[in-house]
Amino acid sequence: MDSQVSNGSGLEAAHITDLLVFGFLQSSKYNFHQELEALSQELPVEVYLDADLEDELQTDGSRASRSFYQGRIEPDSESQEEVIQNIARRLAQVGDEMDHSIQPTLVRQLAAQFRNASLSEEDRRNCLAKALDEVKTAFPRDMENEKAMLIMTLLLARNVASHAPSLLPDVFRTTVNFINQNLFAYVRNLVRNGMD
């Protein structure tokens, strides 16, 4: 597996996935923004919260951008980081349409497994894989398998985090590791192509 994507700033594989998962989660309508803010400070890459989530409405009706964390990503530049954020938003939009496919009992079971402190990271990835297998029948037939797997993986993470926000750091880490092990070639191609 390549450790870098050749275009843009050449982010390392794990950082690409960090940005993608973070961007997907921040595109959520669920209430774990405080946990996302805390998580963003631990990430080794620049992240920022969406303007829709964190900007303040000014008296003239415009929005004042507040840049958080390790640096500012300029909105006019089409940096690799911004491409990844745009991909995450698009995946979240598609995911919103597929979200009904995930049963609440599956989310509760997965959250309970993540709460089990005796599980190793590998065990958590296996729990995520098993949950993903359970929702495979709900994959849209007209969507390529890798895209459906990526979106469902991200949806499972988002739903567990919304069910139990305190689990966000563990869910985030496990999701990033799972994607890097199983879907990174697809993610790398999305970034290279700017998502078809």
Range of the domain at 54: 13-193
Whole-number Å distance between alpha carbons of 117 and 194: 38
Whether 4 maps to a domain, the answer reads no
Write out pLDDT tens, residues 50-92: 544 433 333 334 333 333 333 333 443 458 888 999 999 999 9
pTM of the predicted structure, to 2 decimals = 0.78
Q: Report the CATH number at residue 79.
A: 1.10.437.10
Burial (CB count <10 Å: 0-12, 13-18, 19+), residue 174: buried
Whether 7 maps to a domain, the answer reads no
Alpha carbon 43 to its chain centroid, in Å, reads 13
Whether 92 maps to a domain, the answer reads yes
Whether 2 maps to a domain, the answer reads no
Pick from 128, 133, 139, 131: which is nearest to 176 by CA?
128
Whether 3 maps to a domain, the answer reads no
Whether 5 maps to a domain, the answer reads no
Write out pLDDT tens, residues 9-49: 456 776 899 999 999 998 877 767 788 888 888 876 666 55
Whether 6 maps to a domain, the answer reads no
177 pLDDT above the threshold of 50: yes
Whether 50 maps to a domain, the answer reads yes
Q: Quick one: tokens of 171?
A: 């869910």
Q: What is the number of structural domains in the chain? A: 1
